Amino acid sequence: MSEEQISRRSFIREAASVGTAGMAVPYFVPAGALGAPGRAGANDKIGVGLIGCGGMGRANLNACAAQSDVVVAGACDVWKSRRDAVVAQYKDTAKPYHDYREMLAAEDIDAVIIASPPHWHCRMAVDACEAGKDLYLQKPMTLHVAESLAVRNAVRKHKRVCQIGTQIHAGQNYRRVVEFIRSGKLGPISVARTFNVMNQGPGGVGSAPNSDPPAGMDWNLWLGPGPKRAFNPLLAQSSYHHCSFMAYSGGWTPGMAPHIIDLPVWALELGYPSVTYCSGGRYVIDDAGDGPDVQEITWQYPNFTMTWMMSLVNSFAFDFGRGTPARRLGIYFHGVNGTLYANYGMHEIVPEGDFLKDAEPPAPSIPPSPGHELEWLDCIRTRKQPSCNPDYHCKIDVPICLANLSMKLGRAVRFDPAAERILDDEAARLDAPRYRDPWKFPREYV
Ligand SMILES: NC(=O)c1ccc[n+]([C@@H]2O[C@H](COP(=O)([O-])OP(=O)(O)OC[C@H]3O[C@@H](n4cnc5c(N)ncnc54)[C@H](O)[C@@H]3O)[C@@H](O)[C@H]2O)c1
C-alpha cells in the first residue's frame, strides 16, 4: 500500500473519531422553536412517558430526561418491579401505569418512548398516534409489511413526530460514509454486502423450563397480540433473549439489520426491493427458542443488489475479525473504483489497483446530530420529522419483513415498490398479522 493510501486511511479514521467527539457539543434549541404548531408555548415542558421499562427503554428515557424541558411523567410496564424502578428514579414526576392505554389517555403525557418487545410495536405505535402523542419507537419498527405501512400511515394521518430507534444513524461515521458514497468516487456501485455474526455456541440463550410468571408480572398483557404461550424466563429477560423467539421478535435479522442496512439505504437512497430471497433456518442452536441461527438474504433493486448474512453459530467476519467468538457486523460497498467497508465506528477504502489514487474524502457536509433522542425532542418542538421517521424507515423495515416471509415460504417474494404491494397471494396472506383476541391489527391504516 502506498503512503498516500495510508494517509487517506488515517484521515478517514481520524475523521470518524473527531466526529464522535463532535457529538458531545452542547445542543441549543433554536430561538422561537418552542410554541410552534402542536406545542403550547415558550415555557412548555415535554411530558415523556416510557412504555417498556427494560434496559433499552430506560437508556432512551435517561437521554431525554437530561434535557431541562423534559418531564418524565409516566412509566408503564406489565412487570411491576421494572416500572417501580423507573418511578423511583423519577419519583417527583413519574406516575406508574400497568396498561399503556391508560398512560396514552393521560393529559400530562405529550410523547412516549415505545421500548416493548417487537410484537407490540405496531399496535402501540398506532394507539399512540391516535391518542395524539409523539413517539420514539424502538427497532425493529414492526414484524410484518402490513404493520410497517400501518405505522407509517398512522404517523402521517395523525401528524405525529416519530423517530425509529436506530441511534447509530446519529453518529459521525455513517455521515462520512454517506458523503463518500454520494461523492461518486467509488464509481458505480453494484453490490452492498451487510452482515451481523455472533457465536452463541450450540446452546443459544439456554433452556430454562417454562414456569409461572414472577409475582407482579402480567404475562397475558406481555403476550398481548402475540400467540399465547407459557411464561419462560428467557423470553422475558431482555431483547438479547427474545431475539431467539420468532413470534415476539422476528429473530436476529430484525434485531440487528435495522442498524446495519440503514447505511446503504441512506447512502444510496434505496427504495423498496422488487425481489427478496432469504435462505436459512435453525441448523445448530438447541435452546428454549425457535429462531433461525443462519439467514442469507438477497434483495434485488434496479441495477443493484444488497445482501445480508446473519449467523448465531460462527462469528468469522472477513476484515472485521476472526478467532475469539464475538459479535461482529459490517457493510461493504463494492464500486468499480474500489470497496468501502464500514461498521458502526470506522470505515476504510480499498482501491481497485490504481483507481482512487488521487481521491480525497469529500469535505464533511452532513451536519452532526445532537443525538438520536435529542433530535426527536427537537422535532417535537419544531414539528418537523426526524431523520429516521417511518417514511424513511419503511425502506429498511419492509425489506426485513419480506426476508422473514421469504424464509417461511422457502421461495423469493416479489414486491411492487410503487404500489407497496406483495405480488404473491400466498405471501400476502402469510404477511397479514393475526393478533390474539381481544387485540386487533389496525387494518384501517393499510
Ligand atoms: N436501538 C438499540 O440499539 C436497541 C438495543 C436493545 C434493544 N432494542 C429494542 O428495544 C426494545 C426493548 O428491548 P429491551 O432489551 O429493553 O427488552 P426488555 O424485554 O428488557 O424490555 C421490554 C419491557 O417491555 C415490557 N412489556 C412487555 N409488554 C408490555 C406492555 N404491554 N406494556 C408495557 N410494557 C410491556 C416488558 O415487561 C419489559 O420490561 C426492543 O424492541 C429491542 O429490539 C434496541
- What is the pLDDT tens value at each position of the chain, 446 positions in all? 333 332 333 323 333 332 332 232 222 222 223 333 344 444 589 999 999 999 999 999 999 999 999 999 999 999 999 999 999 999 999 999 999 999 999 999 999 999 999 999 999 999 999 999 999 999 999 999 999 999 999 999 999 999 999 999 999 999 999 999 999 999 999 999 999 999 999 999 999 999 999 999 999 999 999 999 999 999 999 999 999 999 999 999 999 999 999 999 999 999 999 999 999 999 999 999 999 999 999 999 999 999 999 999 999 999 899 989 999 999 999 999 999 999 999 999 999 988 987 778 999 999 999 999 999 999 999 999 999 999 999 999 999 999 999 999 999 999 999 999 999 999 999 999 999 999 999 999 99
- What DSSP letter does each residue of 366-396 carry, written as one string? SPPPS-HHHHHHHHHHHTPPPTT-HHHHHHH
| Radius of gyration for the chain, computed over Cα atoms and rounded to the nearest angstrom | 22
Residue 76 CB less than 6 A away from ligand 1: yes
Residue 117 CB less than 6 A away from ligand 1: yes
Around Cβ 357, how many Cβ atoms within 10 Å? 12
The closest residue, in CA terms, to atom 15 on ligand 1 is 239
Residue 167 CB less than 6 A away from ligand 1: yes
What is the structure's pLDDT at 358? 73
Ligand 1 center to 56 CA (angstroms): 6
Please give the Cα distance from 64 to 240 (Å, whole number).
23
What is the structure's pLDDT at 27? 27
Residue 120 CB less than 6 A away from ligand 1: yes
Q: What is the DSSP letter of 443?
A: G
Ligand 1 center to 39 CA (angstroms): 28
Instruction: Indicate the residue type of 218.
Output: D
- Kindly give the number of the ligand 1 atom that is closest to the alpha carbon of 83: 39
The grid coordinates listed for 81 are 418491579
Ligand 1 center to 236 CA (angstroms): 9
Residue 330 CB less than 6 A away from ligand 1: no
Residue 224 CB less than 6 A away from ligand 1: yes
The closest residue, in CA terms, to atom 40 on ligand 1 is 117
Ligand 1 center to 144 CA (angstroms): 18
**156 backbone φψ class: left, alpha, beta (φ>0; ψ -120 to 50):** alpha
Count of all residues that appear for the chain in the document: 446
Ligand 1 center to 164 CA (angstroms): 14
The closest residue, in CA terms, to atom 5 on ligand 1 is 56
Ligand 1 center to 369 CA (angstroms): 24
Residue 219 CB less than 6 A away from ligand 1: no
- Residues ≥6 apart with Cβ < 8 Å to 128: 104, 112, 114, 134, 135, 160
Residue 53 CB less than 6 A away from ligand 1: yes
Most ligand 1 atoms within 8 A of CB, residue of 50, 76, 77 to mutate = 77
The closest residue, in CA terms, to atom 28 on ligand 1 is 222
Ligand 1 center to 102 CA (angstroms): 19
Ligand 1 center to 139 CA (angstroms): 10
Beta-strand runs (E) in 250-303:
275-281, 294-301
Ligand 1 center to 136 CA (angstroms): 13
What is the structure's pLDDT at 33? 33
The C-alpha torsion from 14 through 377 and 262 to 316, rounded to 10°, is: 60
What is the structure's pLDDT at 232? 97
- Kindly give the number of the ligand 1 atom that is closest to the alpha carbon of 165: 1
The grid coordinates listed for 159 are 401528524
Residue 60 CB less than 6 A away from ligand 1: no
